[in-house]
């Protein structure tokens, strides 16, 4: 019954009316395209912009046949550092012969990283024949130093969900390794996940990857193989590989010996929990004080209901300690044969050293250990969110699509709070505050509309250009925008300034203005702010 889309829709509507009402923002703001910094590539086609690399002054953005170098101060292009890389005529002709359209048969740049002070690694779809290049910056120009095959590094289709991270001298990619886009792969030359092994990866869509301690983490959604006897359902996952993995002995020389994964549980608790199963985006790792647990590292994620049900979106946070504890000490899951249920593996059957952990030299591992991790990739226990969903929204109009976090923003009393910026698939920005505490709930402070086009927001990033206030960088397939993190000056009264419950903003009693108090160093005794209640007795009645 729960797999029926109509039933799920009725349950979601019932839950919505029973335990939550859609939160309303304290403030609405709209920017026209003339009021903010904007970068657009070519107006005659879709660029498929993707943020590749960033420093304190500029960003590298991949697009159709071009890598742009864009200044952060005003989003203008450094034209002398533009890299133009179209596919060759032969590759385009081959692309047409494979049945692809003219729009498909271009080079969409999807992967990029600074691998040295003056060297870039760039990969593109190259008319459905992925290719990578090393560029070296010499005398003010980027010169091609090396070219190599890009299979496993870059997707074939620019719209495919892939991720890449460069760390400790290696590029780690999570993408597809075939023309049809069905063979999911996690790759670091020469290591890869198993081919056509649904227990390792099953039609995965990767949303992010990041370095953490001795490991690289991958966040993705995939068809749940442990549920396959009951139908098809998508689950969210976190996967992990060891940076020191050198492959296994004998025939396992090009295979990971440390890849394991666990389900991420973002759900409304209850006798019958309601799940937001499909991860769409994550923040970077943030560290802060959340309740009585001391310093904690969290990662925030966007989760949604399936596309064929009523649109539900949620924000969940996960502790990195919880993820690592399940990988390092949790039980594994197994299916003895095709018709068996998936059950917990008894501890007595787990070989030593424990699969998934870093070892001095993985090439010396016994075959039993390598075979075990190959067939027991999945952990038995799901990673529970740090608390129940911080923010839930049910909407027929949009779903959440991207998230970034400004961590531990201080109020006038010095209390730190995380500020969440959430993008939607129809071009809106939601701003919410995680106040922390032992049972945190996000405060929905603001909804922002940017420009006239209702384009899906693909990524959000907070940038801090040298000598300028921080900005929110908004990336869609067609445009890049930058807006301020706060709009305090648009509020004209003390009561309204306090009521928006924005930790950036406070009422200046001396000048009768709503201001960004961080720009006013020194004592805060002349400022009014109350994030918890949204009111202050010192504000004069209207």
pLDDT in tens, 210-249: 999 999 999 999 999 988 767 789 999 999 999 999 999 9
371-414 pLDDT, tens per residue?
999 999 999 999 999 888 999 999 888 999 999 999 999 999 99
249 vs 260: CA distance, rounded Å:
18
**What's the number of CA atoms in the CB half-sphere (13 Å) around residue 255?**
22
Residue 231 region by backbone torsions, left for phi larger than 0, else alpha for psi between -120 and 50, else beta: left
Q: Show contacts of 269-276: CB within 8 Å, 24+ apart.
A: 269/388, 270/19, 274/11, 274/12, 274/15, 276/303, 276/304, 276/305, 276/312, 276/313, 276/314, 276/316, 276/389
d(CA 31, CA 95): 41
The helix (run of H) or strand (run of E) holding residue 461 is: strand 459-463
Cα 169 to Cα 470: distance, rounded to the nearest angstrom: 30
Residue 437, pLDDT > 50, answer yes
Contact 368, 376 (CB under 8 A): no
Residues forming a β-bridge with 399: none
- Quick one: 307 exposed, middle or buried, by C-beta within 10 A (0-12, 13-18, 19+)? exposed
424 to 21, 312, 446, 457: CA distances (angstroms): 19, 12, 13, 6
Residues 6+ apart with CB under 8 A from 157: 104, 125, 128, 181
| Residue 280, both tokens | 């769409």
User: In this structure, what DSSP letter does residue 254 have?
Assistant: T
SS3 state at 246: coil
User: What is the token pair recorded at 311?
Assistant: 């649109």
Alpha-carbon gap, residue 276 to 306, rounded angstroms? 8
Domains and CATH numbers, the chain: 49-158+160-189 (2.40.128), 211-389 (2.130.10.10)
Q: What is the distance between the alpha carbons of residues 457 and 153, in angstroms, rounded to a whole number? A: 24
The pTM (predicted TM-score) of the whole model is 0.93
The pLDDT tens digits for 47-101 are 999 999 999 899 999 999 999 999 999 999 999 999 999 999 999 999 999 999 9
């Amino acid at each position: 019954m729960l797999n029926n889309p109509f039933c799920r829709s009725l349950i979601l509507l019932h839950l919505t009316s029973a335990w939550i009402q859609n939160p309303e923002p304290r403030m609405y703001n709209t920017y026209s395209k003339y009021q903010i910094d904007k970068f657009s590539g070519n107006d005659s086609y879709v660029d498929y912009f993707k943020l590749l690399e960033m420093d304190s002054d500029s960003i590298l953005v991949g697009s159709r046949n071009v890598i742009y170098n864009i200044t952060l101060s005003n989003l203008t292009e450094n034209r002398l550092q533009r890299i133009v890389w179209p596919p060759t005529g032969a590759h385009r002709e081959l692309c047409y012969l494979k049945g692809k359209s003219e729009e498909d048969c271009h080079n969409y740049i999807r992967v990029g990283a600074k691998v040295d002070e003056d060297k870039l690694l760039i990969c593109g779809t190259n008319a459905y024949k992925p290719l990578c290049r090393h560029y070296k910056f010499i005398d003010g120009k980027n010169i091609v130093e090396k070219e190599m095959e890009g299979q496993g590094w870059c997707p074939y289709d620019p719209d495919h969900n892939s991720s890449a991270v460069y760390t400790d001298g290696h590029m780690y990619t999570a993408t597809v390794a075939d023309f049809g886009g069905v063979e999911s792969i996690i790759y670091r030359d020469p290591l890869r996940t198993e081919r056509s092994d649904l227990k390792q990866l099953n039609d995965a869509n990767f949303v992010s990857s990041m370095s953490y301690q001795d490991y690289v983490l991958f966040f993705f959604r995939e068809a749940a193989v442990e549920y396959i006897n009951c139908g098809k359902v998508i689950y969210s996952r976190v996967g992990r590989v060891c940076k020191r993995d050198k492959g296994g002995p004998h025939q396992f020389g090009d295979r990971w010996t440390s890849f394991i994964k666990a389900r991420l549980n973002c759900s409304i608790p209850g006798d019958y929990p309601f799940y937001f199963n499909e991860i769409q985006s994550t923040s970077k790792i943030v560290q802060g004080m959340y309740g009585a647990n001391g310093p904690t590292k969290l990662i925030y994620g966007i989760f949604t209901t399936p596309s064929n049900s009523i649109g539900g979106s949620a924000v969940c946070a996960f502790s990195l300690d919880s993820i690592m504890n399940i990988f390092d000490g949790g039980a594994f899951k197994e299916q003895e044969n095709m018709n068996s249920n998936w059950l917990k593996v008894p501890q007595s059957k787990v070989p030593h050293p424990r699969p998934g952990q870093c070892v001095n030299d993985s090439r010396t591992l016994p075959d039993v250990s390598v075979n075990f991790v190959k067939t027991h990739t999945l952990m038995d226990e799901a990673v529970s969110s740090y608390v129940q969903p911080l923010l839930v929204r049910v909407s027929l109009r949009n779903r959440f699509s991207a998230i970034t976090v400004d961590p531990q923003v201080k109020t006038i009393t010095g209390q730190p709070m995380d500020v969440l910026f959430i993008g939607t698939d129809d071009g809106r920005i939601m701003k919410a505050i995680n106040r922390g505490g032992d049972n945190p709930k996000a405060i929905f402070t603001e909804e922002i509309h940017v420009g006239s086009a209702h384009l899906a927001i693909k990524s959000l990033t907070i940038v801090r250009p040298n000598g300028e206030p921080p900005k929110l960088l908004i990336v869609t397939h067609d445009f890049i925008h930058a807006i301020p993190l706060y709009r305090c000056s648009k509020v004209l009264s003390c009561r309204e300034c306090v009521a928006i419950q924005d930790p950036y903003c406070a009422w200046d009693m001396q000048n009768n203005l709503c201001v960004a108090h961080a720009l006013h160093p020194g004592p805060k005794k002349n400022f009014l702010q109350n994030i918890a209640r949204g009111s202050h007795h010192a504000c004069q009645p209207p």
